[in-house]
Chains A and B, each alone.
Chain A
Amino acid sequence: AQSVAQPEDQVNVAEGNPLTVKCTYSVSGNPYLFWYVQYPNRGLQFLLKYITGDNLVKGSYGFEAEFNKSQTSFHLKKPSALVSDSALYFCAVRDASGNTPLVFGKGTRLSVIA
C-alpha cells in the first residue's frame, strides 16, 4: 500500500525567506509524486509533479521540489516566500506501475508573515 507523511502540521516563515515543506512517501514500485495547494474556500490546485527524469522539478508560482529516492522524500521548496503563498499544501503519491489512485498526506499549513 502507498502512503505519504507530512511531518509538520504548520510551517511559519518570514516573507522573503526560503521555505521548505517536507514530504516522505512509501510505494511498492516507482513513485509518481505530486504537490497540491488549497487556498481558503477554493479547490485543490496542482502545483507540480515528478514522473521521471530530472530529480528537481519546477512548478507554478516559483515552487520547486526535489525527488530523493534514497530518502524517499519529495520536499517542496521556494527560494523567497510571499505572503500570498500562505495556504494548505498537500503531498500525494501513486504507484507508477498501475492505475492506483492518488494518496494524499494530511497537509501542512504554510503561514508567511510579512
Chain B
Amino acid sequence: GAGVSQTPSNKVTEKGKYVELRCDPISGHTALYWYRQSLGQGPEFLIYFQGTGAADDSGLPNDRFFAVRPEGSVSTLKIQRTERGDSAVYLCASSLNSGSRAGELFFGEGSRLTVL
C-alpha cells in the first residue's frame, strides 16, 4: 500500500493475555520504529529496526515486550501477560535513511490497545 498499515486498529483484551500488533511499512523503507502514545502524551519510543535487526530497543519497558522483523519488512510487536497500564495507542513508523527525506518518519494510524 501507499502508507504504513497497522492491524488491528483496535484490540480489547483481558489482563494477563498475550497480544500481537502488526505493522506493514512503506515499501523500500529500511528503518521501522515502534512508539507508544498514552492519552495526553507524546509518542514514547519503544524500539527501532534497521533491516531485520533491532538497532535500538532501549525504550521497551520490560521483558514482557518483544518485537520482530524477520524479513526486514513487516514487524510484529508482542506483549505477554498484558497489564492495564499497557493500554495505549501503539504507533508504527517507517523511514528512509538516505536521500532528501532521510529522517522523516511516516506513521501508521496506530493500534489502540485496551487491557481490561
Do A and B truly interact? Answer: yes
Binding site for B on A (CB under 8 A): 4, 6, 32, 34, 36, 41-46, 49, 51, 90, 94, 99-107
Instruction: Give B89-116 interface residues, CB cut-off 8 Å to A.
Output: 91, 93, 97, 103-110
Partner of B104, one of A41, A43, A49, A99: A49
Chain A's closest residue to B55 (CB) is: A99
Q: What's the nearest-Cβ distance from chain A to residue B67, in Å?
A: 13
Are B56 and A100 in contact (CB-based, < 8 A)?
yes
Contacts A104-B42, A107-B42 given; does A51 touch B33 at CB 8 Å: no
Known: A34-B105, A99-B97, A104-B43; 15 extra A-B contacts, CB below 8 A, are A6-B42, A34-B103, A34-B104, A36-B105, A42-B109, A43-B3, A43-B107, A44-B43, A44-B107, A99-B50, A99-B55, A99-B56, A102-B105, A105-B42, A107-B40
Q: How far is the CB of A104 from chain B (nearest CB, A)?
A: 4
Cβ contacts under 8 Å, A36 to chain B: 105, 107
- Which bucket holds chain B's interface residue count? 20 to 34
Min distance, Cβ B29 to any Cβ of chain A, angstroms: 13
Establish whether residues A44 and B91, one from each chain, have CB atoms under 8 Å apart when the complex forms.
yes
Q: Are B107 and A103 in touch, CB under 8 angstroms?
A: no
Q: Which residues of chain A come closer than 8 Å to B105, judged between CB atoms?
A: 34, 36, 44, 46, 102
Question: Contact: A43 with B108, CB < 8 Å?
Answer: yes
Let me know if B4 is at the binding interface, CB within 8 A: yes
A-B pairs, 6 with minimum CB distance: A104-B42, A44-B107, A43-B109, A43-B107, A101-B45, A106-B42
Q: Closest residue to A88 on the B side, CB-wise? A: B42
* Cβ contact within 8 Å between B103 and A32: yes
Residues on B with C-beta less than 8 A from A42 are 109
Q: Which residue of A lies closest to B97 (CB)?
A: A99
Cα A49 to Cα B102 in complex, Å, equals 10
Given A101-B45, A102-B105, A103-B45, decide whether A43 and B110 contact each other with a Cβ distance below 8 A.
yes
